[in-house]
Amino acid sequence: DAHKETLGFQTEVKQLLNLMIHSLYSNKEIFLRELVSNAADAADKLRFEALSDDALYEDDAELKIRVEFDKDKNTVTISDNGIGMTREEVIENIGTIARSGTRKFFDNLTGDQTKDSQLIGQFGVGFYSAFIVADKVTLKTRRAGLTAEHGVQWESAGEGEFTIETIEKPQRGTEITLHLREGEEEFANGWRLRNIITKYSDHINLPILMAKEPLPNEDGEIDEADKGDETINKATALWTLSKNDITEDQYKEFYKQIAHDYQDPMLWSHNKVEGNIEYTSLLYIPSKAPFDMWDRDRMHGIKLYVKRVFIMEDSEQLMPRYLRFVRGVIDTNDLPLNVSREILQSSKTIDTIRAASVKKVLSEISKLAKNEPEQYAEFWKEFGQVLKEGPGEDFANKETLAKLFRFATTESGSSDQTVSLEDYVSRMKDKQEKIYYITAESYAAAKNSPHLEVFRKKGIEVLLLTDRVDEWLVNSLTEFDDKHLQSVAKGDLDLGELEDEEEKKAQEETDKNFEDLVERVKKSLEDKVKDVRITHRLTDSPACLVADNYDMSMNLERMLKAAGQ
């Protein structure tokens, strides 16, 4: 009983397909990279599961990928002997949108073709890219560990529904056949396919095989030695090579493959560390914020390998949360192959690797800030808000981080965050001891706050903090360069040495003259306020609210209220 059923795609899948076919038309060949990378992932998963259950290899332990084509039938087939899928897994992974961040992807669609294609780039295209060149896709698969009669066949024209049925499949793994669309015959061609494989998948760490296509010899015959399969790719893990043997393009292609991004990375850092703990890391900073950056159950991050065996992709143990946009690979010889998430959590080796990797990433970012301010501005736009979570999470690197921050200020004259704390300090007034800031819900609200009046009058620069994360930032970053960060909206405004004697006297006089008034206002407001004071911080506005130095700021209070707390 083949138990054949026809199921509908989620409507989102249909939308995704349409969008993809149109926006990736000029870059069609990437379908092969996506399918090969899925096959490689499937091999990684099998290797990992087989660590605790050797039987999963059956009698076929040499993991590989095969690419075949049939000119007459106009098909291309990609097969692997990786982990395979059960019927349920096929329905879940191929028929629905299972990947995190997808919902956000659809929420972000604008209908503008150019913008949406960029989105699809950040989101990664995956399995469905097969439909760019195919008008029918047939997938046959069998999960490792199940018997031959538990094979599954999935088939779809990519137009809203798919069929699924049980088949007999002796070989473990997955085989995907693309029935090429009219006009896409170019892909049923050995030369073209070899070309695409070496371009995108050279450093997949398992062999990609194709049948040899030998020319006949003088006698019109083909030598025995020229028959059979050949390996098309280099099949070495890129990070194991020495830097001098890797081209920029290879670094970029590798990034695209592991990060599911199709834009170039902003920068990368490749390190071989020897000594107490030996490991290699290849870490990338994307040029655009990854789709799932604000997603709580995001999974992407750093891929951990032990002795070149893929162990897991992790988003927490290997990088702190505030560097969650970093992508890459860490490969070490100093962990056991059967390492688990639990072991990772308390592993000294991991702690060491992580600390060094964080330092490396921060030093690369610092270099960018110093040497390429324009690129750094781009970086800051994409990742600044996440980086500002840093001081609260990573005490050890607080100072390095503080130097990386950029803010809008009363002097910068625009909402763009461009001023560093070092800039600010270098512009401080003669007797100014503190770094002043104001937090508010928007740039306009900050800029027009009455609290700034006295600072304007005295020509003192004030940081305008309007990102949600800024409230948390000022809680954890209280000092820079031995200078206290002081809210202009909190407590007694003590401008210290900045006030001159005459002004002070005049202020004391005013205070005395208005004592009665203050008492009356206090009485009439009773317990609505803590205190009423004469102020010298205003020049134009008649009154303003201030918070106590140790109270929550009013902006934070507003945010908590909005969040229902």
Residues that bind Mg ion (CB under 5 A): 38, 126
Give which of 93, 74, 80 is closest to 175, Cα–Cα.
80
- Least distance (Å) between residue 221 CB and ligand ADP: 37
Is there binding between residue 124 and ligand ADP (CB under 6 A)? yes
For ligand ADP, the closer CB: 82 or 158: 82
DSSP assignment of 430-497: TT--SEEEEE-SSHHHHHT-GGGHHHHHHT---EEE-STTHHHHHHH--EETTEEEEETTBSS---GG
| Residue 404 touches which member of ligand ADP, Mg ion, none, C-beta under 5-8 Å by kind | none
Provide the Cα torsion 90, 127, 173, 137; round to 10°: 80
Query: How far apart are alpha carbons 271 and 82 in whole angstroms?
Result: 30
Whichever of 38 and 432 has its CB closer to ligand ADP, that residue is 38
Q: Note whether 82 binds ligand ADP by CB under 6 A.
A: yes
Choose between 106 and 127: whose C-beta lies nearer to ligand ADP.
Answer: 127
- Quick one: which of 34, 184, 314, 389 contacts ligand ADP (CB under 6 A)? 34
Task: Return the residue of 30, 42, 283, 438 that touches ligand ADP, per CB under 6 A.
Answer: 42
Shortest reach from residue 127's CB to Mg ion, in Å = 6
Residue number with CB closer to ligand ADP (300 or 490): 300
Return the half-sphere exposure (C-beta side, CA atoms, 13 A cut-off) of residue 95.
22
Q: Which stretch binds ligand ADP (CB under 6 A): 121-129, 217-225, 327-335, 458-466?
A: 121-129
Min separation Cβ 114 and ligand ADP, Å: 23
Radius of gyration of the chain (CA): 30
Dihedral angle over CA of 312, 317, 320, 322, nearest 10 = 40
Residue 164 vs 267, nearer CB to ligand ADP: 164
- Separation of alpha carbons 549 and 486, rounded Å: 9
Beta carbon of residue 251, minimum distance to ligand ADP (angstroms, whole number) = 21
Under a CB-based contact definition with an 8 Å cutoff, are residues 337 and 325 in contact?
no
Beta bridge partners of 160: none
Q: Which is nearer to ligand ADP, 38 or 553 (CB)?
A: 38
What is the footprint of ligand ADP within residues 176-205 (CB under 6 A)?
none
> 42 contacts which partner out of ligand ADP, Mg ion, none, CB within 5 to 8 A by kind?
ligand ADP
> Whole-number minimum distance, CB 37 to Mg ion, in Å?
5
Q: What's the rounded Cα separation, in Å, for the pair 108 and 384?
A: 20
Q: Binding ligand ADP by CB under 6 A: which of 20, 30, 36, 39?
A: 39
Q: In the structure encoding, which two tokens stand for residue 511, read together? A: 């205070």
Q: Return the H-helix or E-strand segment holding 271.
A: strand 265-273
Q: Is 85 in the site for ligand ADP (CB under 6 A)?
A: yes
Q: How far is the CB of 260 from ligand ADP (least distance, A)?
A: 5
Question: Within 13 Å of residue 488, how many CA atoms lie on the same side as its CB?
Answer: 28
Structure tokens at 315: 């988003």
* Residue placing its CB nearer to Mg ion in the complex, 279 or 310: 310
CB of 99 to Mg ion, least distance (A): 9
The smaller minimum CB distance to ligand ADP, of residues 42 and 358, is found at 42
Q: What angle do CA 77, 80, 84 make, to 5 degrees?
A: 115
Q: Is 38 in the site for ligand ADP (CB under 6 A)?
A: yes
Q: Does 99 bind ligand ADP (CB under 6 A)?
A: yes
Minimum CB separation from Mg ion for residue 320, in Å?
26
Q: Strands of 279-286's sheet, edge to edge?
A: 265-273, 279-286, 327-332, 302-306, 309-314
Asked whether 433 and 406 are in contact (CB, 8 A), the reply is: no
- Bridge partner list, 271: 281
Q: Any contact of residue 260 with ligand ADP (CB under 6 A)?
A: yes
Q: Which of 20, 30, 36, 83 binds ligand ADP (CB under 6 A)?
A: 83
CB of 26 to ligand ADP, least distance (A): 21
Q: Which residue is nearest to ligand ADP (CB)?
A: 126
User: Which window, 34-42, 115-123, 144-152, 274-282, contacts ligand ADP (CB under 6 A)?
Assistant: 34-42
Q: Which is nearer to ligand ADP, 126 or 320 (CB)?
A: 126
**Minimum gap (Å) between residue 258 Cβ and ligand ADP:** 11
Contact 311, 304 (CB under 8 A): yes
106 versus 443: smaller Cβ distance to ligand ADP: 106
For ligand ADP, the closer CB: 232 or 460:
232
Based on the shown chain and the rule CB under 6 A, indicate whether residue 127 belongs to the binding site for ligand ADP: yes
Q: Which is nearer to ligand ADP, 37 or 466 (CB)?
A: 37
Sequence-ordered list of residues with C-beta below 8 angstroms from that of 81, at least 6 positions apart, any chain: 43, 46, 60, 62, 63, 64, 171, 172, 173
The two three-digit tokens of residue 325, written as one number: 């946009």
Shortest CA distance to 81 belongs to which of 197, 194, 207, 167? 207
Phi-psi map region of 123: left, alpha, beta (phi>0 left; psi -120 to 50 alpha): alpha
Is position 140 an interface residue for ligand ADP (rule: CB under 6 A)? no
Answer whether 259's CB lies under 8 Å from 290's CB: yes
Chain residues binding ligand ADP by CB under 6 A are 34, 38-39, 41-42, 80, 82-85, 93-94, 99, 124, 126-127, 174, 260
